[in-house]
Structure 1
């Protein structure tokens, strides 16, 4: 099974074709194709290609499934004996991205087999057909 390590939103993520990942908010609409060029590592059948810092000629293609908000993170600040308390909440805007294929030097290493089967999103009862 081939995989790649990409950088998006200031984070490094290990991605495989046919799976979806929650990443930082992208400026793409749902059902729109996205190409990620910042690929740090590509592994295909035991052959590992490491970039310095990026792998030249490697791209990862995906489809934006939807935009959503992450879980709430509570921030509570308190100074003892001063009667000072602040309670704030934050929800990060995230994008659910389905990885379609990993490309290396113009050839498709692996493509998702989900192109003909519908993808079921585990957080809702909506089916997305490609």
Structure 2
């Protein structure tokens, strides 16, 4: 059984017991998060697609904590003028563990 959920403008394929990272959410470690925007649901036999979401389906996940991703660096350079600019940053994320996937009502 798996589902495709949307969070922060991104889509994630999740199964029960899976640990995955999403863009930072305002939730404490140990708190629960419910994803109501389920775009696709599969129980192993049939696949249900949403228009745009699957009615009645949801994914319940438990927050394991927040963190920072790897540092990403960028450099802009203009030739002949010796002009350059360094940019960079670290993305903030929340690590979630999927507890259950609730099937839609038939």
Superposition TM-score, scaled by structure 2 size: 0.95
Map 1:1-130 onto structure 2 (within 5 A).
2-105=1-104
Give the distance between the partners of 2:44 and 2:76, measured in 1 at CA: 50
Give the distance between the partners of 1:45 and 1:78, measured in 2 at CA: 52
Give the distance between the partners of 2:46 and 2:104, measured in 1 at CA: 14
RMSD, aligned CA: 0.9
Question: C-alpha displacement at 1:97, in angstroms?
Answer: 0.4
How many residues end up aligned between the 2 structures?
A: 105
Question: C-alpha displacement at 1:105, in angstroms?
Answer: 3.1
Give the distance between the partners of 2:87 and 2:9, measured in 1 at CA: 24
Superposition TM-score, scaled by structure 1 size: 0.78
SS across alignment from 1:96:
strand
CA contact under 8 A between 2:71 and 2:89: conserved in structure 1? yes
Runs of 4+ that moved beyond 2 A: none
Deviation string for 1:61-89 (max 9, x for gaps)?
A: 00000100011110111111111111121
